[in-house]
Amino acid sequence: MSKQGTVRDNKKVSGELFTLTYGALVSQLLKDYESDDEVNKQLEKMGYNIGVRLIEDFLARSNVGRCHDLKETADVIAKNGFKMFLGITPQVTSWNAMGDEFSLIFDSNPLAEFVELPDGHSNLWYSSILAGVIKGALEMVQMEVEAAFVQDVLRGDSITEMRVKFLKKLEDAVPVGED
Ligand code: MYR
């Protein structure tokens, strides 16, 4: 096998392993918590904790500077953030009139490949962890947002869509002992 083939195969295997690992995490949460709502919350919380850490890595590895408006931020999230960590580029679309809310449409979702939702879990938002990642990462650049999936092909919707709403600009935190 060529070296290039091996690299591609390894990437595919680690992608599959990633999908399976995430599936195992969701399955475990479904056992541990009584309601889908609670599982959604847990996934979001985990994502938030990942996001607050991942942003540092993102800013260090990308050449992205400060964004001037939410449109720029949305593009950076889709074209740089998702590309860097998941190898996908969701479409940025459906801006509201105020320009403070947009959608990310996922044509592919590495977390959910070959996944079927188990019966009886119609309130589960399988990929909620990603909404949490966005919230956590943006909070670290002083932006409070709401983020949630509003459509998911796993639930029978025609597309997978995350809605992101800018809430407010956060003040820079004052380091402990310096206020
Ligand atoms: C700024 O204005 O300071 C730059 C804002 C950049 C925000 C980038 C957020 C990256 C989120 C990564 C999402 C990855 C999901 C797997």
Predicted ipTM of the assembly:
0.96
- Give the integer Cα–Cα distance in Å for 87 and 71: 21
- Give the integer Cα–Cα distance in Å for 55 and 153: 28
Given a cut of 50, whether residue 178 has pLDDT beyond it is no
Please give the average per-residue pLDDT across 146-153, as a whole number.
98
Ligand 1 centroid distance, CA of 64 (Å): 9
Given a cut of 90, whether residue 13 has pLDDT beyond it is no
Cβ proximity of 170 and 143 under 8 Å: yes
- Going by pLDDT thresholds of 50, 70 and 90, the confidence category of residue 174 is low
Mutate to test the pocket of ligand 1, among 49, 53, 55, 62 (most ligand atoms within 8 A of CB): 55
Please give the average per-residue pLDDT across 92-107, as a whole number.
98
Q: Residue 124 has what pLDDT?
A: 98
CA neighbours within 13 Å on the CB side: how many for 43?
A: 28
Given a cut of 70, whether residue 122 has pLDDT beyond it is yes
Please give the average per-residue pLDDT across 137-154, as a whole number.
97
CA 92 to chain centre: 14
Ligand 1 atom with the smallest distance to the CA of 81 is 12
- Which among 25, 35, 58, 24 is positioned nearest to 134, based on CA atoms? 58
- Give the integer Cα–Cα distance in Å for 87 and 81: 9
The residue nearest atom 8 of ligand 1, judged by CA position, is: 77
- Give the integer Cα–Cα distance in Å for 117 and 96: 31
Q: Output the six-digit token pair for 25.
A: 């995490």
Q: How far apart are the first and last CA of the chain?
A: 61
Q: Output the six-digit token pair for 83.
A: 């590309």
16-34 residue pLDDT tens: 999 999 999 999 999 999 9
- Give the integer Cα–Cα distance in Å for 137 and 77: 10
Q: Residue 162 has what pLDDT?
A: 98
Q: Residue 168 has what pLDDT?
A: 96
- Give the integer Cα–Cα distance in Å for 106 and 117: 18
